[in-house]
Structure 1
Amino acid sequence: MVKNPERRAALLDAAIETLAAEGARGLTFRAVDSRAGVPVGTASNYFANREDLLAQTGVRTYERFMPEQQEWDAVISGPRDRAALTEAMRATVTRLTAEPHVYLATLELQLEATRRPELRADLTARVRADLDANIAFHEEQGMPGARDTVVLLYLALNRLVTEHLTLPGVLAAEGSLDDLVTRVVEAVVPEP
C-alpha cells in the first residue's frame, strides 16, 4: 500500500463525501477517485479492499469531529455547572452540524454496519471507547450529573443532530438548534 498521508486523507475525505451523497452502495474506488480528482486506480493503491476503505473512512470521520484544543481548554478551565455544560454541548452540536456530510457519512457507515459484521465490530468498539472516554472526562472534570447524564446527552443530542440534518422541518417549530440543545441539557442535568 502506498504511504502518502496527505493523499490518503484526501481519499478518505472523498469517501466521506461519497457516502453522504450516494450512500454505501455508491462507495466504490472509482467514485472515490473521481470525487478526489485523482487518476482512476489511485484509491485501490491505498486501501486493500472495500472493507478496508469503509473501516478507514470510519476512523477519518472521528478525526474530522475532534474538537480544537481551545474547545477542550474552555471545558477544562471553565466553571463546572449546567451553564458550562450547556455551552460545551452547543459547541459539540455545532461541530457535528458544521460539516453535514461528515455526520451523514457516519450514519451511512452505521447502516452499512448492520450488513457487515467486521464493520459493526469496528464501529461498536470505536463508539463505545468514545462514549467511555466522554464519561471519564465528564467525571474527572467534575461536571454536573454522572454517568447517566453523559449517556442521556449522547442519546438525545445524536438524535437531535440526525433529525436536524435529515428532516429539519420536524423540529423547526420547536426552536433553534441552540435552544433545543439548552432544553435537552436542562431536562437531563439536575439543577444544583
Structure 2
Amino acid sequence: MVTNPQRRTALVDAAIEVLARDGARGLTFRAVDAEAGVPKGTASNYFANREDLLNQAAERIHLRVAVGAAEGTETDPRALLTQFMHLLLHRISDDRAGWLALLELRLEATRRPELRAKLTKTLRDNLDTNIEGRRQGGLPGDDLTTVLLYYAMTGLILEHLTLPDVLADVDLDELVADFVERALPGT
C-alpha cells in the first residue's frame, strides 16, 4: 500500500463526494480516481479493497464536521451548548456531501456486517465523545440530555439536507435553541 497521507485523504474525500452523488453502488475505485483527478488505478494502490475505502470514508466524515471545544466563545454554559449545536448544524450544512455520504454508508451497513460493525463503532465513539465533551466542558444537563440533543440534531439535519422544503418556514437556528431549552428545563 502507498502511504502518502495527503493523497490518501484526498482519495477518501473524493470517495465521500462519490457516495453523496452516486450512492454506494456508484463507489468504485475508477469513480474515486476520476473525482480526485488522479490517474486510473491510484485508489486501488491506497486501499486494500472497497470495504477498506468505505470504512475510511466513515471515519473521515466525522473529522470533517467535528466541532472543537476551542470554537466555543460563550461564557454561559447554556449559551455555550446552544452555540456548539449551531456550529454543528452549520458545519454539517456546509458539508452536505459528507452527511449524504454518511446516510449512504448507513444504508450500505444494513447489507455489510463488517461495515455495520465499523460504522457502529465510529458512531458510538462519536456519541461517547459528545457525552464526555459535555462532562469535561461543564455544560448543563446529563448524559441523557446529550443523547436526546444528539438524536434531535440528527433528525433535523437529515430533514434539512434531504428534504429542505419540509422545514422551509422554520428558522433552524431558533429550532436548535429550542432543542436546548426544552432538553434543559429549569436548569
2:184 paired with 1:189: yes
The one-letter code matched in structure 1 to 2:23 is G
- Partner Cα separation in structure 2 for residue 10 and residue 139 of structure 1: 34
| From 85, 92, 97, the counterpart of 1:96 | 92
Task: For residue 78 of structure 1, report the CA deviation from its aligned partner.
Answer: 4.3
- Partner Cα separation in structure 1 for residue 66 and residue 80 of structure 2: 19
Equivalent residue, structure 2, for 1:142: 138
% identical equivalent positions: 55
- Partner Cα separation in structure 2 for residue 137 and residue 36 of structure 1: 34
Contact 1:144 1:190 in 2 (8 A): no
Question: What TM-score do you get using the length of structure 2 for normalisation?
Answer: 0.95
Residues 31-180 of structure 1: pairs in structure 2 closer than 5 A: 31-67=31-67, 71-75=68-72, 78-173=74-169, 175-180=170-175
Contact 1:80 1:144 in 2 (8 A): no
Task: For residue 62 of structure 1, report the CA deviation from its aligned partner.
Answer: 1.7
Equivalent residue, structure 2, for 1:7: 7
- Partner Cα separation in structure 1 for residue 74 and residue 172 of structure 2: 23
Contact 1:80 1:141 in 2 (8 A): no
Task: For residue 79 of structure 1, report the CA deviation from its aligned partner.
Answer: 2.7
How many residues were matched structurally? Answer: 187
- Partner Cα separation in structure 1 for residue 54 and residue 71 of structure 2: 34
Secondary structure at the counterpart of residue 2 of structure 2: coil
- Following TM superposition, the consecutive aligned residue runs of length 4 or more in structure 1 with deviations greater than 6 angstroms are none
Q: What does the per-residue CA deviation read over 1:122-151, in whole Å, with 9 as the maximum and x for residues that have no partner?
A: 111111111112111212222111011100
Task: For residue 183 of structure 1, report the CA deviation from its aligned partner.
Answer: 1.7
Q: What does the per-residue CA deviation read over 1:133-170, in whole Å, with 9 as the maximum and x for residues that have no partner?
A: 21112122221110111000000001101100000011
Secondary structure at the counterpart of residue 40 of structure 2: coil
Q: What does the per-residue CA deviation read over 1:69-114, in whole Å, with 9 as the maximum and x for residues that have no partner?
A: xx52244x74343222111110111111111001111111111111
Change (3 A) 1:135 1:36: same
Equivalent residue, structure 2, for 1:30: 30
Structure 1 residues without counterparts, runs of 5 or longer: none
Task: For residue 66 of structure 1, report the CA deviation from its aligned partner.
Answer: 2.3
Secondary structure at the counterpart of residue 38 of structure 1: coil
